[in-house]
Structure 1
C-alpha cells in the first residue's frame, strides 16, 4: 500500500517539480519574444542593452526585464556561437538569477546557462563574477562566452595568477569577470593589504555564479586561504624529529583512520621525552608537559602525522625535489599549495628533500566567509542535492534540480561486492575486456594515483591499449578526455569532478580539427571541419550501437556526490550508456565504515572465490555509510566555520577601518582621538580616580608621557597646583600634545603631515593584525583542551579572542601615538650633511667607473687570497664596477656579482 507522501507526490508533484512548473509562463514569454529579437540587426542587440540599462535607472527591476534580457542573450549566443539555448537552460538561468543552485546533469551546457543571469545582473553596472575551478577553465570560458557578451555590448575580463596589475584592474572593471575561487579570495586579501585605495582591484561584491559549486563551496571549504611570509628556519628540528619517528612502535601511538587523527600514548610520551633529552632537542631539566615545550610537542605531532597519515603518490608526489600536494577530490597536483603549521616541512624531512622555511600568516580567509560577502550568490553543478542542507545552512542557497533536455537513457547497475581486492580487480579487467571487444568506450574511475597505476599494469598485461588520466598526466588532460568517447577507447581517470571538458561519443570535432591543423598548418580549416564532422558522426553511430559510454567505478568515494559526478559522465544529452560500481570488503570505505554484519552475511552465504554479491540492500547499506561520512565532514566544516566566524567579525572591522583610512584625506581627528585615549589610559593608571594626591605617581606619569608621546611637560607642577585633580592634568596634557602636533604640521606642511599620519596608521594596523592572527592561531590550537575542564572550547575562544582584540586595539593606539610623536623634520644642518654624503658617494662611484672604462677589461689573473666561489663571505666587498675577486678580469657586476 502506498504511503500518503507517495500519493501526494504522484498527484501534486514534488516541491522541486512545482518550482520548475512555476517558471513555465516566463519561458513562454521568452519564446514568444524570439521572432522580435531575431529581426534585430547586430547593432540592435547592443542598443537593447543600453535600453535595458536606461529602464533600470528609471525604476524597473531586473525581474521586470528578465524575459526580454534572456531573449536578447539567447539571440546573441545564437549569432556568436551558433548555439540556441534549450528551454531547460533558460530555466537554469532563472534559478541562478534568483540566487539558487541549479543542479544540471553533465553535458546540459552549464557554461552557456551562466551567460543569461550574468548578462541580466551586469546591467546594474556593478559587475558579475563567474567562478571556475581552475585557470584553464576561467580562460577558456571567458574567451568562449566573451563572444556572446561582446555581441550584446558587454565587456569580459579574466583574472589569473601572476597577472600584471594594470591588466588585473581592467579585468575586475569589466561587466563580467571570470576567475578561480583561489584567485578571487587571494585578491580580496591582497586588496586589504594595499596602502592606496586606487591600487585596490576588487569592487564591492555584487553577484557571483559559482561553477562546480559543490567542489568549491564544500570540498575546498575545509582549508582556508592564507597569505604568508617566511619565518625562521627550523630545518634542523624537522630533521632531528624525522629520524626519531621510525623508532616508534605500535604501542607508542594510536591511529584513528575514521577521524584522520594520530595521538601518542603514555608509553609514547615517556619514550619521546627520553630520546629527545638524549638528542639534545629537549633541555635536561624540561619535560614534555612544560609550557616551554609546546613547540617541540607540536613538531613531534606533525612528524608523526607526516609518517602515518600521508602517503606518497596518494596524498602528494615528489617532483623536481619538491613535495607537491594532490587534491583528493580532483586528483590534480596543487603546485604552490603548502600544508600549514610545519606539516609540509615534516613531509619534506621524511622524503629527504630540501626543507623550505615555515610561513607566518599575514592574512587569511575561508571560502565560506569570502563567498558570504556577495549580496547575491548562485551556483551550478551536476550534483548538489546530497548536500542540500549544508548549502542552505551556511550560504542560504536553495537547490533546484533542473530537468534534462532529453530523458536519461543510461542504465545504472547495482554495486557488485567482492571479498578481496584481487578478486575485484580480476572481475574489473574481465568486464573491460568484454566491453573493449565490442568497441564500447570505457571510463574507469579510481580514487588515487596508486590505484590507477595498479589497474594500468593489469590492463597492459592483458594487452588492452588505454590512457591514464591523473595528476601526473595533468597537461594532456583535455586531449585524453576528448578521446575517451571514441570507439574502443579505455580511459582510467582519478576523480572526474570539474574537468570542464565533455566526453563526446565518437570524439570531439574541435580537438580533432586543432590536431589536424597542427600536423598540416596549410590545410583549409573549413574543409577539415567537414571531414572531421563526417568521421565523428560515423564513429558515433558505431559507439551508440556498442551501447554508449560505460562508466566503471573501482571503488565508492567517501561522498555520494563524487560517485554521481563520475556516473553522470555517461548518458549526456539522452545518449545510451551504462554505469557499474565494483567494490571489495577491503576498500577503505567498506573497511572503515561498512557494517561488520555485511562481512558475516557474505561469509554465511559461502561465497566462492571470484563471486560477487549484487543486491539493492548492499547499495542501501553503502549509502548509509556514505551519508555518515558526509555528515561528519559537514560537522568538521561547521566547526571550522564557527571558529572562523569569530575571527571574521574582527577581520571585517580591521578591513573596514583600513578602507576608511585609505579613503580619508584628513586623519588628524582619528589620530587626535587615539592620542587623547592614550593620555586617558596613562592618567588613569598613574592617578587613579577617587585617590588621594599622595597616592599619585606623578614621576611615573611624567616618564610615560615622555616615552609614549615624546612630550616633555611639567606634570609634577600641574599635579601640585592647588585644587588640581586627574581631570586638570588630563586637559593640560591634551592641550600640550595638540600644540605639539600643530607645530609639527607647520614644520612639515599640512599635506605631508596628513600623509605621514596615514602611512603610520596603515603600517601599524597591518603589523598588529599579523601578530594578532598568530596569537589566535596558537589560541585555537590549545583551546580544545579546555573541553577536559568541562568548558566549551568555542565559548572560551570567543571570550579570549575578544579580549586579545581589545588589547590589540589598545596597543595600536599607543604605538601610533608614539610613532607620530617621534617624527620630526630634519634640521638644515642634517639635510646639508646628507646631501654632501650622497654627493661624495656619487663622485666615488663615477671615479671607479671611469677608471674601469679607461683600463678596459683587466687581464685574467690570480683569484684573491682565500676566495671560495661557493662562499660569498670570502669575496670581500668589491664595488659593482671593480674587477671580480675571482681573477676573471671581468667587472664584478658582470661576473660573480651578477644579480
Structure 2
C-alpha cells in the first residue's frame, strides 16, 4: 500500500504540491502589477491604503484585494527596507491569510512574509496581532517591519513587559500590534478582572499570526497562564483540620512512602465524617459530597503533613517559620513554599504563624486563548511532524512552502557509540577537523548541563570560552581566521541575554566559529555565512552620522563580510553537530535547519550513545550486547540508515504519547474554559450595561423562591413547615425581621402567599433605598456589589475545581470515566456558585446603608456631600464598592486610638484604629 501511495504522489503530486501549484497562479497576478506600482510616487503608493479601505467598505472581500495589496507591500518593502519578497514568500503570505500554518525553512524570511497577510487583514481596522516568543523579537520586528506599515499609512504598536494600562490600550488600538504570547494572554485575563469597560486594554481577537507556532502552541501550551493572589486569612480552618489528625490511629489511613502519598481508609473516613459533623464543617450527607471537596483536600494535606513529612528531614522550624529542606542537596530553601495548602498544613502542625495560601484569581491555557481568535495563522520551520495536533486542537492545516533556492545541505546518517565518553571524543575530533578548514560549527545540546559538559571537554582540548555578552567575542576569527592560536575559541549560548544572543548567532557564521547552543528555536536571527551585515554596521558605525565617511565604511564592511563568506563557503558552509537526539523530531529539525540557508552549502550529523535517554528507552541493553558480539571496538561507531529509521519510529511513539497527554489535559481544561467563557461574557455584559437593577431584582426573587421552597415542602400542612428555619434565614439573608411564625397560624395560608409577602417587603426596602440615595448611586452600588461578589465566588470556584481535578482520577478505580465524572461534578459546583451569587448579592444589597456625611470643602468647589458605605460582610471586598459608588469612608484622622467611641463604623478588613497593626476583625472587632 505504501508503494502505491508513493506511485500516486509521483504521478499526481501530493496534496501540498497541488495547493502550491494553485497558489502560483495568484503569484503571477501579483507579479503582473509590479511594473505599474514601481512607476508610482511614494504618496501615490501610500494612497492605495485608503483606496483599499474604501473598497472593503463598499463590499469587496479581502480575497478580492489580495493581489493588489500584496503587490503594494512588496513595492513598499523594496523602497523602505531594500528587500523584495520572493515568489515563494508571496505563497507563504497567502497561506497565512487563509488561516493556516506556513512551514518555511530557516533563512527563507518568515518575518518579511508576515507583512503581506498582516497588511491585508489590518485594512479591516479590527487590529492584527503578531505573536513572538520574546520581548526582544517583538520590539525588533515592530520597529523593523513597522517601517513598511507606517510607510503605507498604518499604525503600529508593541506590547512588552512593564507597560502601563494606558500604553497598552494605545498599542492595542493600533492597526498592527506586536507582542509575546504571555503578554497577550495576561492582558486578556487582567481585562476580565476590571470593573469598568473603559479600563480594558484589548479590543477584540480578530486575527493573530504566531511566529514559531510550534514552540508557542505546543511546547509552551503545557503550562497555563495563571494570575494568583493571597487568599483571605483561614488560619482557624487549618488549625481546626489539623486538630483531627492526632485522633486517628493506624487503621484510619494508608501510607505509601515510595509514592509519597497518604489516603484515608473506610474506617478513617467514617471517623472524620463524625468529627467534621460535630465541628459543623460538613455540608450535605457525606464527607465525599461535591460541596466538601475543599475540606477533603485539606484533610489529605494535613494527613501528609503529619505522617509523611518529618521535621529536620523534610523541613525545619526556624524563627517561627517552616523552611523547606532540599531533598537533593540538604540545603535550606528560604522563601520557597509547598503548594496546594501543604505548607499551611505544616505550619498548623508546628503551631507557628500560618501564612495565607495563594489562590488562582484567573487562568487560561494558550490553547484556549488562541482559540478565541476569529482567524489564526502561524509560521515556523518545523510543523509537519505535529500536523495532526495542529489540525485536532486548533483546526490549523500545515502547508510546506518550497525554498527559494534548492537546498544543498548534506544530512549524514547518525553515528552511534557505546558510551558517552566515546561520543564526546568523536565530537571534539570533528570540531578540530572543521576548525582546521575554517568551517563554522554549530553544536546543539538538549540541556544547559550537557552544554557545560561539552564546554569542559573543549577547554581540555585547548579551546578558550568567550563571554557571549562581549560584542567583540569573535573578532579574532574576523581578523585572521587562519591563526589557529587565536582562533581556538568557542561561545556557549543560554537564555539569559536575548539581544546579545541574537548578535552572537548573527556572527556565528564566521569561518572557524564554534557555537554551542542549548535550544535553537526562536532565536529570530539567521546564521549568515561571513556574518550579518546589518548587525555589524550597527555595531561599528552606530554613532557615525550619515555621509560620505559612513558610506565608505559601509562598503568596506560589506566587502569584508563577502571575503569571510567566501572562506566559509570554501570550507563547506555551516556544519551542524547534534550531541544527541531529542524526543521530538521537530527540535532536531530546527537545529538541522540552521545550516544550508538560501542555497548555501552545509552539513549536519547527529552523534548518539547507548547511554543517551532516548537510546535507553529504545532498549540499549540488547543493543549493547549485540554490538559487543559484532566486535565493535572502543571509539568505533555504527552508522546505518536503519538506525535512523528505528530512531524516527521511537521519536514518533514519544510524540504520540505526549500529544495524548496534552489532549487529555485539554479535555479537562475545556470544562473550566466553557464556564470561564460564560462568566467572562456575563461580566462584560454587566459592565457595559448602564444598570443591573433588573438582574438584581430577579436574583432577589429567585432567592426568596428558593428560601420558601426549602422550608415549606410542596403540599405540606403549615404544622409541617420549618417556620423557625425560614424566619432565621429571612433575617440573615434579607435582613427582614418578619413574624413568619404568626403567618403559619393563619387559616388557609399557602407557600405562594408567603413568597408574595416576603417579595413585597423586600421590594419596598429596595425601593426606599433608591428613593433615599438616588437612582444613579444605587445603580453604581448594585453593579459594583454584583461584579465583586461574582469575582469572589469565581475565585473560590477555581480553587474547588483544582482540588476536584487532583482527586477525580481515583474514580477510575471504580470503573467510572474520570473526565465524565469531572464534567458532572464541575457542573454541580457551577450551579452552586450561581446560587451563592444570587444569595450573597441579595444579602449585601439588603443590608447596605449609605450615610450622608459632610465633605471637606475644596477651594472653588461646591459643597456636594459624598456618601459613606457601611457593610456587614466584607468577604466580597465591598470596602471597594463604596469608593466605586462615589463614597468615602470616615477619615482615620478623626479617630482617637484611646477612645473607641470616636471610631465610628469600621470595615472588618481595615486596620484596627487602636494601633495594634492587626485587622479590625482580629482585634477589637473580634470582641463585638
**TM superposition score normalised by structure 2:** 0.79
- Name the SS for the 1:23 alignment partner: helix
Q: How does 1:607-622 map to 2 (within 5 A)?
A: 607-622=632-647
Q: How far off is 1:162 after superposition?
A: 1.7
| 8 A Cα contact 1:130 1:176, kept in partner | yes
Q: Which digits, 9 at most, give the CA deviation of each residue in 1:114-165, with x for residues without a partner? A: 1111111111111111100111101111011110101111111101112011
Residue by residue over 1:657-703, the C-alpha shift from the partner in whole angstroms, topping out at 9 and shown as x without a partner, is: 10011011011100000000000000101112211121122332222
Maintained 8 Å contact 1:594/1:621: no
* Cα distance in structure 2, aligned partners of 1:583 and 1:311: 29
Distance 2:408 2:819 in 1: 50
Task: Please tell me whether the aligned partners of residues 103 and 400 of structure 2 are also in contact (alpha carbons under 8 angstroms).
Answer: yes
Q: Does 1:477 align with 2:501?
A: yes
The answer on whether the counterparts of 1:110 and 1:380 sit within 8 Å (CA) in structure 2 is: yes
**Alpha-carbon distance in 2 for matches of 1:724, 1:570:** 88
The partner residue of 2:300 within 294, 306, 327 is: 294
Partner of 1:160: 160
8 Å Cα contact 1:772-1:805 kept in structure 2: yes
Alignment correspondent of 2:259:
263
Quick check: 1:513 aligned with 2:552? Answer: no
Which residue does 2:379 correspond to in 1?
380
> In 2, are the aligned partners of 1:449 and 1:471 still within 8 Å (CA)?
no
Match of 1:18 in 2: 18
Aligned equivalents of 2:234, 2:516: Cα separation in 1: 42
- Pair 322,768 (structure 1): closer, same or farther in 2 beyond 3 Å: closer
Residue 410 of structure 2 aligns to a residue whose secondary structure is strand
In the alignment, the residues of structure 2 paired with residue 530 and residue 674 of structure 1 have an alpha-carbon distance, to the nearest angstrom, of: 76
Q: 1 CA distance for matches of 2:355 and 2:842?
A: 38
TM superposition shift of 1:580: 0.3
- 1:332 aligned residue: none
SS at match of 1:82: coil
- Corresponding residue for residue 197 of structure 1: 197
Determine if contact 1:418/1:585 at 8 Å carries over to the other structure: yes
Structure 2 residue aligned with 1:629: 654
- Per-residue deviation, residues 252-302 of structure 1 (Å, max 9, x unmatched): 989xxxxxxx82499x999xx9xxxxxxxxxxxxxxx99765115667699
Flag the 1:509–1:382 CA change in 2: closer, same or farther, 3 A.
Answer: same
Q: Where does structure 1 lack aligned partners over 5 or more consecutive residues? A: 238-251, 255-261, 274-288, 313-317, 324-337, 347-354, 846-875, 879-899
Q: Does 1:701 align with 2:726?
A: yes
Asked if 1:565 is matched to 2:590, the reply is yes
With over 3 angstroms needed to count, the CA separation of the structure-2 counterparts of 1:836 and 1:309, relative to structure 1, is closer
Contact map agreement 2:133 2:522 (CA 8 A) in 1: yes
Deviations 1:790-833 (A, max 9, x none): 11111111110110010011011000000000111226799999
In the alignment, the residues of structure 2 paired with residue 230 and residue 794 of structure 1 have an alpha-carbon distance, to the nearest angstrom, of 30
- Kindly report which structure 2 residues correspond to 1:442-591, keeping only aligned pairs within 5 A, or say none: 442-464=441-463, 465-471=489-495, 476-517=500-541, 524-591=549-616
3-state SS in 2 of match to 1:166? helix
Spell out the pairing of 1:21-60 with structure 2 (5 A cutoff). Answer: 21-60=21-60
Q: Secondary structure at the match of 2:631?
A: coil
Q: CA deviation at 1:408?
A: 0.4
Q: Is this contact kept in 1: 2:852–2:867, CA < 8 A?
A: no
Counterpart of 2:517 in 1: which secondary structure?
Answer: strand
Q: What is the alpha-carbon distance in structure 2 between the residues aligned to residue 771 and residue 454 of structure 1? A: 47
Matches within 5 A, 1:256-405: 263-264=259-260, 293-296=299-302, 341=340, 359-405=358-404
Provide the rounded CA distance (Å) in 2 between the counterparts of 1:499 and 1:322: 33
The C-alpha deviation readout for 1:835-887, integer Å capped at 9, x for no partner, is: 99978937999xxxxxxxxxxxxxxxxxxxxxxxxxxxxxx999xxxxxxxxx
Query: Any stretches of 5+ residues in structure 2 without a counterpart?
Result: 240-254, 269-294, 316-322, 346-353, 464-488, 856-864, 869-886, 898-914, 918-928
Match in the other structure for 1:655:
680
Rounded to whole Å, the distance in 1 between the matches of 2:83 and 2:220 is 32
Q: Compared with structure 1, are the counterparts of its residues 780 and 738 closer, same or farther at alpha carbon in structure 2 (3 Å cutoff)?
A: same
Residue pair 1:149, 1:156 contacting (<8 A) in 2 also: yes
Task: Give the corresponding residue for 2:250.
Answer: none
SS of the aligned residue for 2:603 comes to: strand
Distance 1:476 1:101, change over 3 A: same
Cα distance in 2 for partners of 1:304, 1:690 equals 60
Aligned residues of 2:360 and 2:795 also touching (Cα < 8 A): yes
The aligned residue for residue 668 of structure 1 is 693
The residue number in structure 1 matching 2:224 is: 224
Matches of 2:794 and 2:889, distance apart in 1: 38
Task: Name the CA distance, whole Å, in 1 between partners of 2:624 and 2:530.
Answer: 42
1:797 corresponds, among 822, 832, 854, to 822
Distance 1:418 1:833 in 2: 80
- Sort the Cα spacing of 1:542 and 1:661 in 2 relative to 1 into closer, same or farther, 3 A: same
Query: 1: CA distance between counterparts of 2:21 and 2:556?
Result: 43
SS of 1:204's partner is coil
Question: In the alignment, is the contact (CA less than 8 A) between 2:611 and 2:620 conserved in 1?
Answer: no
Residue in structure 1 matching 2:761, options 736, 746, 754: 736
Change (3 A) 1:210 1:298: farther
| CA deviations over 1:232-266 (Å, ceiling 9, x no partner) | 799x99xxxxxxxxxxxxxx989xxxxxxx82499
SS in 1 for 2:851: coil
Q: Does 1:129 align with 2:154?
A: no
Q: Deviations over 1:346-391 (max 9, x none)?
A: 9xxxxxxxx9986321100000011111111100000000000000
The number of residue pairs the alignment matches comes to: 783
1:603 deviation in Å? 2.5
Distance in structure 2 (CA, Å) of the matches to 1:6 and 1:499: 36
| Aligned-partner Cα distance in 1 for 2:664–2:325 | 25
In the TM superposition, residue 589 of structure 1 has moved relative to its aligned partner by: 1.2
Corresponding residue of 2:84: 84
In structure 1, distance between residues paired with 2:673 and 2:128? 24
The answer (yes or no) to whether the contact 2:297–2:803 under 8 Å persists in 1 is no
Would you say the 8 A contact 1:594–1:625 is kept in 2?
no
* Alpha-carbon distance between aligned partners in 2 of 1:580 and 1:308, rounded to the nearest angstrom: 43
In 2, Cα distance between the equivalents of 1:507 and 1:800? 60
Contact 1:156 1:171 in 2 (8 A): yes
- Distance (Å, rounded) in 2 between the aligned partners of 1:308 and 1:448: 26
Distance 1:716 1:827, change over 3 A: farther
Equivalent position of 2:101 in the other structure: 101
Provide the residue aligned with 1:896 in structure 2.
none
The equivalent residue for 1:841 is 893
Structure 1 counterpart of 2:630:
605
Q: Distance in 2 between matches of 1:191 and 1:145?
A: 28
TM-score by length of 1: 0.81
| Partner secondary structure for residue 130 of structure 2 | strand
Determine the C-alpha separation between the residues in 2 that align with 1:836 and 1:758: 18
